[in-house]
Amino acid sequence: MLNKFSGMAALCVLLACSTNSRADDIQDANKLLKQGQTAQALEKVNAVLASKPKDAQARFLKGLIVNEQGNAAEAIKIFTALTDDYPELPEPYNNLAVLYASQGQYDKAKVALEMAIRTHPSYATAHENLGDIYAKMASQAYDRALQLDKSNASTQTKLALIRDLFGKSARVTKPAATVVAAAPVAAASVATVTPTAPASSANNGDANDAVLNATREWAAAWSAQDSAKYLSFYAPEFNTPDGMDRAAWEAQRKERIAKPASIEVTLNGINVNARDTENASVSFNQNYRASHLKSASHKTLVWVKHGTQWQIVEERSGK
Percent of the chain with pLDDT over 90: 32
CA distance 82 to 24: 21
Query: Could you tell me which residue, 19 or 235, shows the higher pLDDT?
Result: 235
**Which amino acid is present at 23?**
A
Pick from 275, 284, 261: which is nearest to 304 by CA? 275
The SS3 assignment for 259 reads: coil
CA 62 to CA 39: how far, in whole Å?
Answer: 11
Does pLDDT of 234 surpass 90?
Answer: yes
pLDDT digits (tens, 9 = 90+) for 62-117: 999 999 888 999 999 999 999 999 888 888 999 999 999 888 888 899 999 999 89
What is this structure's pTM? 0.49
- For 46, residues 6+ apart whose C-beta sits below 8 A from its C-beta are 62
d(CA 285, CA 269): 6
Task: Place 242 in a pLDDT band, splitting at 50, 70 and 90.
Answer: confident
Residue 274's H or E segment, with its range, is: strand 263-274
- Give me the half-sphere count of Cα atoms (radius 13 Å) on the Cβ side of residue 55: 21
The region of weakest confidence among 16-20, 25-29, 267-271 is 16-20
- What span, in angstroms and rounded, lies between the C-alpha atoms of 305 and 286? 23
Give the Å distances, CA to CA, from 84 to 44, 66, 182, 271, 286: 24, 19, 21, 22, 19
Please report the pLDDT score of residue 82 as a whole number. 93
Count of other CB atoms within 10 angstroms of residue 104: 11
Number of continuous H segments (helices) and E segments (strands) in the chain: 12, 4
- Half-sphere exposure for 285 (CA within 13 Å, toward CB): 6
Contact of 121 with 192, CB cutoff 8 Å = yes
d(CA 65, CA 30): 9
What's the confidence (pLDDT) of residue 283? 92
> What does the mean pLDDT of the chain come to?
78
Strand partners, 306: 309
Q: For the residues 160-165, what does the mean pLDDT come to?
A: 63
CA nearest 4: which of 69, 145, 101, 108?
101
Give the CA-trace dihedral at 230, 213, 273, 271, to 10 degrees: -90
Q: What is the pLDDT of residues 197-206, one digit of tens each?
A: 333 334 555 7
Residue type at position 67: N
Which of the two residues, 235 and 154, has the higher pLDDT score?
A: 235
Which pLDDT tens digit goes with each residue over 277-312?
A: 889 999 999 988 887 788 888 999 999 998 889 999
Is residue 315 a contact partner of residue 301, using CB atoms and an 8 Å limit? yes
All structural domains of the chain, each given as residue ranges with its CATH number in brackets, are 8-169 (1.25.40.10), 186-317 (3.10.450.50)
Q: Which residue has the higher pLDDT, 117 or 171?
A: 117
How far is CA 81 from its chain centroid?
A: 15
pLDDT of res. 1: 52
